[in-house]
Every structure is written in C-alpha cells, then in structure tokens.
Amino acid sequence: MSSVSSQPQFRYTQPPSKVLHLRNLPWECTEEELVELGKPFGTVVNTKCNVGANRNQAFIEFEDLNQAIQMISYYASSSEPAQVRGKTVYLQYSNRQEIVNNKTTADVVGNVLLVTIEGDDARMVSIDVLHLVFSAFGFVHKITTFEKTAGYQALVQFTDAETATAAKLALDGRSIPRYLLAETVGQCSLKITYSAHTDLTVKFQSHRSRDYTNPYLPVAPSAIDSTGQVAVGVDGKKMEPESNVLLASIENMQYAVTLDVLHMVFAAFGEVQKIAMFDKNGGVQALIQYSDVQTAVVAKEALEGHCIYDGGFCKLHITYSRHTDLSIKVNNDRSRDYTMPNPPVPMPQQPVQNPYAGNPQQYHAAGGSHHQQQQQPQGGWVQPGGQGSMGMGGGGHNHYMAPPSSSSMHQGPGGHMPPQHYGGPGPMH
C-alpha cells in the first residue's frame, strides 16, 4: 500500500466515471492491449488510443460505472501497479462520462491491418508466409509481428485503405492455406481488424519485421548468430537475410557464360540494374543487382539449382549478397551498369582481380576486360542485332540458350549456330 501511494498513479480530484484516463502507456499502444487491461473488471465498450503530444495516453470506457470503480479500487489497494508491456500505467477517472466520436479502432477504415493468428502453432507462422498471403491483394509495404496477451499478432501495411479493405474482407476468419505451412505446423486462422496506425516504423529487416519499400535497410543483428552465420528459424531452415543483390555461382561450366547471357537469364524476372562478374575459388561468380528485394527473391526462388544450358551445364547456385549497391566504374564484358545512359568507354587494363575484399556494403568492379578461357558451345550465344540473334520473344520473356543437339541446324554469322532456347522464367532444365 505504502509503495503504491507514494507514486502518482491515481488522481482523486475527478468524480467517478465510466471513462478512465490512462497515462504513461508504451509507444503505439493498441486497442487490444487496453481491452485486455480492463477485461478482468468488466466489459470495455470503447477506447481511444495514442492521445497526447507523446501519444502515450488513452481512454477506456466501461459498460457500467461500477466496473470502472472496481478497476480503480483494485489498483489503488494492490501492491502491483497496472502495467502494459512492463510499463507502469497511471489511472484516474476522466472528466467525461463517455468517449466522444464513438469510434473504435476496428470501426475506422485504414491502410494498416491488425492480424491475430489463431491456433496452437500460431507462433510458427513466419513473416514470409504472412507476406505471401497478403500480397495476393496488393503491394505490402511493411509487416511487423509481435506477441501480446491477445496472442501472436502482426501489423500489415498496404498502400491505401481500399487494398487493406479487400484483404480484410477476403481473409478475416479464414485459415492460412495448408500448403504454405510446414508439415509440423497445425491449422492457423486469421482474425483481422483495422489498426489506428498509418505508417509502421521498421528499423531493421528481421524475422519479426520487414520493410519491403527499403532494400537498403540493415539486417538486425539478432538475425545473425555469434559465428556470423544466418540464424536458424523454428522450422530448422536458415533465415537468410534477403537482399536486392544476388550472388550467383556457376558450376559445371562446359560452356562460357557471358555477361549478356546472365542478363538475359535474370532480366526475365525484372529490371536488372547492374551485373559484375569475377573469378573466385577457381570458378566464376556474378553479382546481379535488382531495384528491389522482392524481384531478387522471385528470381532466386525460380533459378536456384537450375542450369543455363540443356544437359545440366552451367548450374546456378544463388544466395543473397551482403551488398546493396554495386559500383560499376566502366562497362565492359565483365561488368555493366544498365542504369547509365552514356556508359564510359572501357580502357584496356589488367584482368579483373577478386573484387570481394573491401567494404562489405559496396562492390567496386574493376575496369578492363577479362575473357573467360572456357570452351565455347558449338551453338554459341549470338549477340542481339545480328543474323540469328536471340532478342525478346513474345510476351516480353527473355530466352535462355541450349547447346546444339543437331548438326543440321542453320548456322548464323561467324560459323555459330542459332541455339535452341527456353522462353520464359518458368522451370528450367
């Protein structure tokens, strides 16, 4: 009693009211947290969150005056103060008898949805699964996940209220598709309301929060273990930090892979901004930069483990790079900046050395050409613009080359034969 009374937790200057005024709330306190705080004492019929200059005050309205009196009396005599997220909350009667503008968070349509995942294995639903589910209705800007007394929850931010409403109407009360969940995860359903937030704050990319509008946001240290490797998630898989830059390693290089070949392969999934090729550990690797993380994710999932050429030749192994913006100083046959309207003319220099050393956040591609000493396939890649060139096909898809399978194929200029090709970003050989 004495420890509580020494704190300015209550003010008795106001007469009893069904509406209680709460102070010292944690930042961005939600309606659900306020309802949970008042639930033991009665029915909370209305709330008003994020009030005051610091947005750390709120009002809750009980159905009956006695319920509000019971809550005030309980905490006035308890050795444990009212708390939300571990912060002591100060309560007092409000000078109003009801909350004006009778709108709860759930009544106000907005672009951010509050999603409660229900089910015994709700906490095993990853942020990537949530992104797949909600992306079906439009571009998802940000997602944050957290655990509250109401359960495992997420805030999902769309561009506008119309898109959020479409997602809410379609998904509220529905179960997450079974094929998106791991075999060990039971059925999980979604309970969706509107949030009072309009723009979520995401400081790090992690397994708990994601900003899909900012590919340059740093990865949270908690997502990487003490050895510097990516941490392992609850499903036993690596939680590899996503990036807009892919690192492609090429195995079984029976045929040469040029920069133009790589551009054709990766541009099938979106605009490629830059490519840099280099030799490392006796093999050929390349960094491919997209404008955003999501395009890189799609390309990685589609191309990982597939081969550029028929017959299992030039197999791609793709991971996310720690780089976010490649620095291409000159355009040549080993590096290209496709965003430069007037690229500099390459000057003869020494072969490219391993560029991986240095600042891990930026790759500096050296100038000069470095020709691969690889066997050229009989049906080599024919450059666009010449006879028999492989340009863009129908539907805007790029074409990938296959080694020649018949000696009767018509030969193009320079003795090269136009290759058979695969058209589109679907399954490769």
Domains of the chain: 19-93 (3.30.70.330), 112-211 (3.30.70.330), 245-337 (3.30.70.330)
Distance between CA atoms of residues 48 and 57, nearest Å: 9
Continuous segment of H or E residues that includes residue 260: helix 259-266
Contacts 24+ apart (CB under 8 A), 408-414: 409/379, 412/382, 412/386, 412/387, 412/388, 413/382, 413/386, 413/387, 413/388
Q: How many angstroms from the chain centroid is the CA of residue 4?
A: 45
And the tokens for 86?
A: 């571990």
pLDDT of residue 143: 94
- Residues of the chain with pLDDT below 70 are 1-14, 53, 101-107, 149-150, 220-240, 341-429
Q: What share of the chain is helix, strand, coil (3-state, %, to 5)?
A: 20, 25, 50
**Which pLDDT does position 233 carry in this prediction?**
44
Closest alpha carbon to 398 in 263, 257, 245, 246: 263
pLDDT of residue 232: 40
d(Cα 188, Cα 240) in Å, to the nearest integer?
24
Question: Is 340 within 8 Å of 329 (Cβ atoms)?
Answer: no
Alpha helices in 41-114 (DSSP H): 65-77
Which residues contact residue 43 at a Cβ distance below 8 angstroms, ignoring those fewer than 6 apart? 62, 63, 64, 67
